[in-house]
Amino acid sequence: MLWSKYYIPTLKEDPAEAEIISHKLLLRAGMIRKLTSGIYIYLPLGWKALQKISDIIRQEMDRFGAIEISMPAVQPGDLWKESGRWEVYGKELLRFKDRHGRDYCFGPTHEEVITDLVRGEIKSYRQLPVNLYQIQTKFRDEIRPRFGLMRGREFIMKDAYSFDRDDQGANKSYEDMYAAYMSIFKRLGLKFRAVEADSGPIGGSFSHEFMVLADTGEDTIAVCTKCDFAANLEKAEVKYAEKEGSPAECPALEKVSTPGKHSVEEVADFLGVPKEKIVKTLLYEADGRPVAVLVRGDRELNEVKLKNLLGALDLRLASFDQVQKWSNAPVGFAGPVGLNVEAIYADQELMFDTDYVVGANEADAHYLHFHLQRDAQIEGFFDLRQITESDPCPRCGGPIELTKGIEVGHIFKLGTKYSEALKATFLDENGKEKPMIMGCYGIGVSRVLAACIEQNHDENGIIFPPPIAPYDALLLALNPKDSTVKEKANEIYEALSAQGIDCLFDDRDERPGVKFKDADLIGLPLQIIVGAKGVKKGVVEIKIRHSGERIEVGLDEIIPRFKEVQKKVWAHYGV
């Protein structure tokens, strides 16, 4: 492709509205342009990269027996009313009416649509299992879309849905998709981890997320350095070696004055006790019910674990007024003794000790010598806190590391949540009607492009892993006015193209400096630089973008040397 005949509107400066590097570089490399908040146009280079990502996804999904279809983006509201989700989702679900006044939504996902299709087509166990997928535009009306393709309102998703006759079959489908995803992200040349994840309101019992590792990732994952355990922090379980016996006795509760000491640090300081001898009493409203959670002073509550324990759809921290009402004290003095909430839950770690400091449910006062089993009525001990790097791996006891990731895939065991709601049933061998067992599997295709750049860039621009790069190589003719350079560069372009190498040819009448900057900015894995001096010496230069390494090759050996260097670069990405 000739740059002079193409459309790559590169920018010299970071656009003001871009906050993260992938957003800055996608705009500057002329790969996307914003139409409106959270909605982007994919320009030629961006679109080509998305096609490369999609092609690899298709190949692996097909290899694992999934079948590609395409479903409408516009969905009838009636299906969402039937599944019960029309009321569940708020403003994030873009709703509208047609000319007849009927309700529709712009599809944020397609469980209802695919289940409606299958319930009309599949009646017998002989037709199962089936796995259907699409690569398609979704819309989720995020309240504050930011970060370019990382969190757009309109985005491209590959979403697949499997239907099985029983749990065994559903597990097989899930394992196949897990394997397909491992292969997809490996083939994309990305550093990633599959992590155990929380299933959230989608329901279903089990899920894994696929995380591209990047310091700017929003998700924190716990990774074992010894075994293959990895979990989203939201899900990562904390495990204790069984400790014998019940905690020692301790003196009776004793109220002490702690004027204006609200935080754990202030109380620990004032009373001269370590933070782990303080118990925090956190107040929440769970689906409207007042509840309290006790965690050790030096720990963080994991709200997702609490939400799942309570089965709450809506969980929010109590407001100042609620704290005052439920504890008769301002924030910072709430405690488990004489607290008027519906239930108190304790993190399991508190089981192993006693003689804690807790709020006295009175302004400027705390209790010493709190003995959990003696002085409070709790619902029980549960795994409710965030895992930390000093906790052992819950699988093998090895050391845990916390690292950042960008979620680019999520696979779920759905069970019969949708097949029961929409009566998608089949007849088994004995003519018995049963609901199909479902799974669903998503990849954020446009988000993969952003995550790839978050993981692969430097101060000069993007560094594309070859499988995602819009082109295999960039050919630069430094002074196209020089007829020998122009002639030589054209010859090389023809020779590379004849070898099936997808090459972008920068034939613009621009100064070399502009070409070098644009070359590093758009980040194709290899550059072939043709300059007057080199041609006179009978050489051109091959530059490897990820390492910056430059290799001088004779004009008569360009193709074999290029292929050799290209192989080295692919090997660097393990593809």
Alpha-carbon span 29 to 9, nearest angstrom: 7
DSSP string, 434-464: EEPEEEEEEEEHHHHHHHHHHHSEETTEE--
Binding-site string for ligand 9G3 from residue 142 to residue 171, where x marks contact by CB under 6 A and - marks none: -----------------x------------
Q: How far is CA 352 from CA 245, 249, 381, 548, in A?
A: 9, 12, 11, 56
Q: Which is nearer to ligand 9G3, 103 or 383 (CB)?
A: 103
Q: Which is nearer to ligand 9G3, 387 or 443 (CB)?
A: 443
For residues 199, 205, 211 and 216, what is the CA-based torsion angle, rounded to 10 degrees?
30
Q: Which is nearer to ligand 9G3, 138 or 545 (CB)?
A: 138
End-to-end CA distance of the chain: 25
| 202 lies in the site for ligand 9G3, by CB under 6 A | yes
- Which segment (86-94, 162-170, 360-368, 465-473) binds ligand 9G3 by CB under 6 A? 86-94
Q: How far is the CB of 200 from ligand 9G3 (least distance, A)?
A: 7
Q: How far is the CB of 359 from ligand 9G3 (least distance, A)?
A: 38
- The answer to whether the CB of 539 falls within 8 A of the CB of 554 is yes
Strands 343-347 and 380-382: parallel
| 442 lies in the site for ligand 9G3, by CB under 6 A | yes
List 149, 422, 440, 553, residue binding ligand 9G3 (CB under 6 A): 440
Angle at 217 (CA atoms; ends 447, 474), nearest 5 degrees: 55
| 410 lies in the site for ligand 9G3, by CB under 6 A | yes
Q: Which is nearer to ligand 9G3, 194 or 256 (CB)?
A: 194
- The answer to whether the CB of 371 falls within 8 A of the CB of 355 is yes
- The answer to whether the CB of 358 falls within 8 A of the CB of 333 is no
Q: How far is the CB of 190 from ligand 9G3 (least distance, A)?
A: 19
List 23, 140, 151, 371, residue binding ligand 9G3 (CB under 6 A): 140
| 280 lies in the site for ligand 9G3, by CB under 6 A | no
Q: How far is the CB of 455 from ligand 9G3 (least distance, A)?
A: 22
Strands 473-477 and 526-530: parallel
Q: Which is nearer to ligand 9G3, 160 or 344 (CB)?
A: 160
Q: How far is the CB of 453 from ligand 9G3 (least distance, A)?
A: 23
| 73 lies in the site for ligand 9G3, by CB under 6 A | no
Q: Which is nearer to ligand 9G3, 140 or 447 (CB)?
A: 140
Q: Where are the beta strands (DSSP E) in 531-567?
A: 539-544, 550-554
Q: How far is the CB of 410 from ligand 9G3 (least distance, A)?
A: 5
Residue type at 375 in one-letter notation:
D
Q: Which is nearer to ligand 9G3, 79 or 440 (CB)?
A: 440
DSSP designation for 393: P
Q: Which is nearer to ligand 9G3, 80 or 493 (CB)?
A: 80
Of 38, 495, 444, which Cα lies nearest the Cα of 219? 444
Q: What is the phi/psi pair of residue 275, to 5°?
A: -60, -30
Q: Which is nearer to ligand 9G3, 282 or 440 (CB)?
A: 440
Q: Which is nearer to ligand 9G3, 88 or 514 (CB)?
A: 88
Q: How far is CA 422 from CA 74, 103, 120, 352, 541, in A?
A: 19, 18, 10, 48, 62
| 447 lies in the site for ligand 9G3, by CB under 6 A | no
Tokens of 566: 């290209």
Binding-site string for ligand 9G3 from residue 89 to residue 118, where x marks contact by CB under 6 A and - marks none: x--xx--------------xx---------
Chain residue at closest Cβ approach to ligand 9G3:
442
Q: How far is the CB of 140 from ligand 9G3 (least distance, A)?
A: 5
How many residues touch ligand 9G3 under the rule CB under 6 A: the total is 12
Burial of 241 (0-12, 13-18, 19+ CB in 10 A): exposed
- The answer to whether the CB of 120 falls within 8 A of the CB of 422 is no
Burial 11-40 (b: 16+ CB within 10 A, else e): eeeeeeebebbbbbbbbbbbbbebeeebeb
Q: How far is the CB of 384 from ligand 9G3 (least distance, A)?
A: 24
Q: How far is the CB of 124 from ligand 9G3 (least distance, A)?
A: 25
- The answer to whether the CB of 375 falls within 8 A of the CB of 337 is yes
Element spanning 78, H or E? helix 77-83
Q: How far is the CB of 154 from ligand 9G3 (least distance, A)?
A: 12
DSSP designation for 229: -
Residue type at 185 in one-letter notation:
F
Q: How far is the CB of 160 from ligand 9G3 (least distance, A)?
A: 7
Q: How far is the CB of 209 from ligand 9G3 (least distance, A)?
A: 10
Bond from prior residue into 435 cis (ω within 30 degrees of 0): no
| 304 lies in the site for ligand 9G3, by CB under 6 A | no
- Contact residues for ligand 9G3 (CB under 6 A)? 89, 92-93, 108-109, 140, 159, 202, 410, 412, 440, 442
